[in-house]
Structure 1
Amino acid sequence: MLTHDDIARVLAYYDVGELRSSRPASHGAINETAFIETTVGRFVIRRNRRHIGFQSIKLRHRLLDWLRQRGFPAPRVLPARNGDTVVILNDRVYELSVFIIGDEFNPSRPRQLSDIGRVLASYHRAVTGFPDPPPPPPPRYLPSSLSSLTERLITRDLLGDLTVTLHWYERRIADLRRQLSDEAYAALPHVLIHGDIHRDNLIFRGDAVAALIDYDQIGIDARLVDVADGLVDMAVGPPPPNWSMWGVYRAPLDLERVQLFLSAYNAIAPLSKSEAQALPAILEVIWLQGNLRRTLSTPDAEPDYHLELLGQGQWLSEWMDRHREHVLAAAMVY
């Protein structure tokens, strides 16, 4: 955790006044972050994890500057007195940015979904032409990538507690691979995605997005990755009766919220026909992948817990069977 003395030592390299107070940020498991107040204003200080390479940090700072030059609501990283956007002390890399006033995502304000769609589309347009992007990571939501997860679980399931459910997963994955092959995924429009579109990384003022933050997961991938992540996390309603509270996801999609999000996105950066057709499969991959990974990461849990997790993925897939045409209609541009 960043201490008062840590912060004071870093601030000595900036012209931002003297430290008055600080408190840890409630979000951000990858890096140590704190909100601070000085004699001249409010700021956010961050100590980057050691495994994050220096070049990755500088790349992120270049992207933030690129976005701000194009009028996009990204955080403003402050230069130190020497003009650099980082301070290195004891082999640790620190950075300082301006505090952004605003509120968290509010599910009771569905109009926020429209502005999320607008801002995400604006981001995807703004990153066009960004020089020297990072090397592409492995595609995030390939249906074919699910097979290795089920194979590992089948190998581990020595007593056969999960056999029936895992066989259902195998059949479903085969269906998804027919819907969206590796080649079809590779042909989707790719951009420098944000890679972490969820409620903790958006700051609001009323129904409007004041800022999109946290650019640690940027990489070249299908832009549908960002769209689908946003839908799964925020375009949801209350959980239905008997919803699995052990599962990874809060609730199924709410179709009215999906429409708000996608209509606003399509007004700025319309999805292609191939993207609209691929969206249901990618949403389903997210649901299955999340619950498979949680099952793998809890090897000592009881079988009932694992069946509950895998059952949520199955429930969501069956939800998509019933609502696929509605999702397609919301994604299509007419």
Structure 2
Amino acid sequence: MAVYTEISDDELARFIARYDLGNLLSCKGIAEGVENTNYLVHTTTSAFILTLYEKRVDPADLPFFLGLMEHLSAQGVTCPLPVRDREGNVLNELAGKHAALVTFLEGMWPRRPHVEHCLELGRAQARMHTAGEGFSLQRANALGISGWRPLFDKFKDKCEDISPGLHDLIADELAFLETSWPQGLPDGVIHADLFPDNVFFIGNRLSGLIDFYFACNDSLAYDVAISLNAWCFEPNGDYNATKGRALLKGYREVRPLTDAERTSFPVLARGAAMRFLLTRSYDWLNTPQDALVARKDPMDYVRRLRFHQSVAAIGEYGS
């Protein structure tokens, strides 16, 4: 359950009254998600997602996130569109939290992605990267390579509580990445969290991208590497080259990777695995057992990292 903040009927009615959306019909908490509180709201005009931003979201970043969704939507990317109230505001307050309404997208996320899903994802991610050009706001990637060692320092003394040898694996890999990280690659706005549960499909047709609350400016190919990690490994940890080939093919159809991006891709994939290994390890050690949010096993990303360490060229991913 990811509803951290409960709202009363009266509070919600007053909030909805700020908008030109008709009368409130229903409101239901959404269990999925880990960062914020989300409700599905129905009014007499349509359905919307109401998000209350919790402690881990910096309010200073909200104009970037909401503005990006408006920008991408205007460029033809199907994503939630922030709803403006009668005074033109996209950001308001509810139950003492910053809050926003966005349009509801039809579709479901794929619990077991197929090859066709990966092909569609690659195309959509490239379209998103292209559409992000011209977005005026900037946001540094707080979970980019410069943030990895400070995060590791917060839990490195407890690594062995997760798995024997994990401390040395992370320490050695960080040392490699910090000296080998590619510089000067094409950059722009990236999603940075394009996991299957943030991509909706109707059948095998991609119907929209959601949850832009890790979006930032970074290497575009790094964003592709995050997606490859998230979509192209099977539950047993094996890499699925057919899915990887489809994802990269779909991306390349819309935005071809440069020679430098192709050369750097195995290192970027290692970095993407490291980013989620670090955040999952930190959360594993710091999330109470009785917390509302289920912890995600960091060892899934150890297996991914070890695979990437064996890869010498992008062609080995199926490209």
Aligned length: 304
Q: CA deviation at 1:228?
A: 1.5
Residue in 2 that maps onto 1:268: 254
Q: CA deviation at 1:276?
A: 1.6
Change (3 A) 1:329 1:225: closer
Which of 7, 16, 19 is the equivalent residue of 1:11?
16
How far apart, in 1, do the equivalents of 2:21 and 2:120 lie?
33
SS of residue matched to 2:39: strand
Which of 27, 35, 47 is the equivalent residue of 2:32?
27
Which of 228, 233, 236 is the equivalent residue of 1:236?
233
Q: How does 1:72-221 map to 2 (within 5 A)?
A: 72-89=77-94, 92-134=97-139, 136-138=140-142, 140-141=144-145, 145=148, 149=152, 153=156, 162=164, 166-167=167-168, 169-177=170-178, 180-181=180-181, 185-221=182-218
Q: CA deviation at 1:42?
A: 1.6
Moved more, 318-327 or 68-77: 318-327
How far apart, in 2, do the equivalents of 1:300 and 1:226 lie?
27
Residue in 2 that maps onto 1:254: 240
Q: CA deviation at 1:237?
A: 2.4
Work out whether residues 160 and 167 of structure 2, in 8 Å CA contact, stay in contact via their aligned partners in 1: no
Which of 255, 259, 269 is the equivalent residue of 1:283?
269
Q: CA deviation at 1:286?
A: 3.3
Moved more, 118-127 or 90-99: 90-99
Q: CA deviation at 1:156?
A: 5.7
Change (3 A) 1:46 1:223: same
Which of 290, 296, 307 is the equivalent residue of 1:319?
307
Unaligned runs of 5+ in 2: 1-5, 288-296
Q: CA deviation at 1:10?
A: 0.9
Report sequence identity in percent.
19
Unaligned runs of 5+ in 1: 240-250, 302-308
Q: CA deviation at 1:216?
A: 1.4
Work out whether residues 122 and 247 of structure 2, in 8 Å CA contact, stay in contact via their aligned partners in 1: yes
Work out whether residues 150 and 170 of structure 1, in 8 Å CA contact, stay in contact via their aligned partners in 2: no
Q: CA deviation at 1:124?
A: 0.5
SS of residue matched to 1:186: coil
Change (3 A) 1:16 1:266: same
Work out whether residues 192 and 221 of structure 1, in 8 Å CA contact, stay in contact via their aligned partners in 2: yes
Work out whether residues 13 and 87 of structure 1, in 8 Å CA contact, stay in contact via their aligned partners in 2: no
Q: CA deviation at 1:139?
A: 6.3
Change (3 A) 1:269 1:29: same
Deviations 1:68-119 (A, max 9, x none): 2211112122221223223335653322222111111242532011111001
Q: CA deviation at 1:167?
A: 4.2
- Choose 1 or 2 for highest CA Rg: 1
SS of residue matched to 2:208: strand
Work out whether residues 2 and 24 of structure 1, in 8 Å CA contact, stay in contact via their aligned partners in 2: no
Work out whether residues 190 and 216 of structure 2, in 8 Å CA contact, stay in contact via their aligned partners in 1: yes
